[in-house]
C-alpha cells in the first residue's frame, strides 16, 4: 500500500468517525439524554448561536479563512487520490548479490518500454504505467492496435518476444505485467 493510500484511508476513517459521533450526539439529544427539554428547544435558541450573534464582527472572517483552508486541503487530497502517476521515481534493478545497488529512473524505463512495444507491427499507441514499490515494480501496458491487426498474433508476439526482452533487460524475470489490448475503430466517412 502506498503512502497516499494510507493517508487517504486515514482521512476517510477520521471523517467517518466525526460524522458518526455527530450522528450519535444528535440521536442522544433527541432522546433527552442531555437534559429535559433539550430536544424541544429552537434551533437558534442555543449558546453557540448567541455567541455568533454577539461576536459576528470577527467570527465570520475567521470562519471564511477556516473554510478556505479546508477547501485547499480538500483539493490537495483530491489531487492525491486522482493522481495516477507512479509514486516511485526510481526502480531498484540490483541483482541482490551485494556488489552494489543499481537504480533506474522510472520515466526512462517507461520510455524504453513504450518504444519497444511501438516497434511491433500493428501497434498504434502504447500507454505505459509503472506501479508498485521500487523493489517490487509492476508494469501495466495499454496497447492500441490498428483496426486491421490480428490481436491474437500481436498478443502472442508481445508475450513471446517483447515482454521477455523487457524482463531480461531489467534482470527481473518475474516482473508482473498487465497487458490490455484494444483496437482503434475506423472513422466512418459519409
We report the CATH number of the domain holding residue 152 as 3.30.70.1350
Answer whether residue 179 is part of any domain: yes
Answer whether residue 190 is part of any domain: no
Domain total in the chain:
2
**In the prediction, which pLDDT does 113 show?**
82
pTM: 0.48
Contact 123, 154 (CB under 8 A): yes
> Residue 88: pLDDT band by 50, 70, 90 thresholds?
low
Strand partners for 37: none
Single out the residue in 82, 116, 145 at which a domain terminates.
Answer: 82
User: For residue 141, which phi and psi values (nearest 5 degrees)?
Assistant: -115, 130
- Of 72, 82, 130, the C-alpha closest to 106 is 130
> Residue 37: pLDDT band by 50, 70, 90 thresholds?
confident
Answer whether residue 188 is part of any domain: no
How many other CB atoms are there within 10 angstroms of residue 132's CB atom? 17
Mean pLDDT score, 50-76: 91
Answer whether residue 164 is part of any domain: yes
Q: Range of 176's domain?
A: 90-183
**In the prediction, which pLDDT does 115 show?**
86
Amino acid at each position: 500500500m502506498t503512502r497516499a493510500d494510507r493517508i487517504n484511508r486515514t482521512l476517510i476513517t477520521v471523517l467517518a468517525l466525526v460524522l458518526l459521533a455527530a450522528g450519535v450526539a444528535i440521536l442522544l439529544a433527541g432522546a433527552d439524554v442531555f437534559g429535559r427539554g433539550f430536544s424541544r428547544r429552537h434551533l437558534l435558541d442555543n449558546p453557540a448561536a448567541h455567541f455568533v450573534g454577539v461576536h459576528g464582527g470577527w467570527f465570520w472572517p475567521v470562519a471564511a479563512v477556516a473554510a478556505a483552508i479546508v477547501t485547499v486541503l480538500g483539493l490537495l487530497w483530491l489531487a492525491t487520490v486522482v493522481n495516477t502517476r507512479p509514486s516511485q521515481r526510481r526502480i531498484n534493478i540490483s541483482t541482490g548479490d551485494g556488489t552494489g545497488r543499481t537504480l533506474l529512473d522510472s520515466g526512462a524505463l517507461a520510455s524504453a518500454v513504450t518504444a519497444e512495444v511501438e516497434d511491433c507491427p500493428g501497434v498504434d499507441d502504447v500507454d505505459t504505467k509503472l506501479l508498485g514499490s521500487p523493489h517490487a515494480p509492476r508494469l501495466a501496458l495499454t496497447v492500441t492496435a490498428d483496426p486491421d491487426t490480428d490481436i491474437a498474433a500481436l498478443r502472442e508476439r508481445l508475450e513471446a518476444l517483447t515482454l521477455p526482452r523487457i524482463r531480461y533487460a531489467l534482470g527481473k524475470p518475474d516482473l508482473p505485467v498487465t497487458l490490455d489490448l484494444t483496437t482503434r475503430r475506423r472513422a466512418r466517412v459519409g
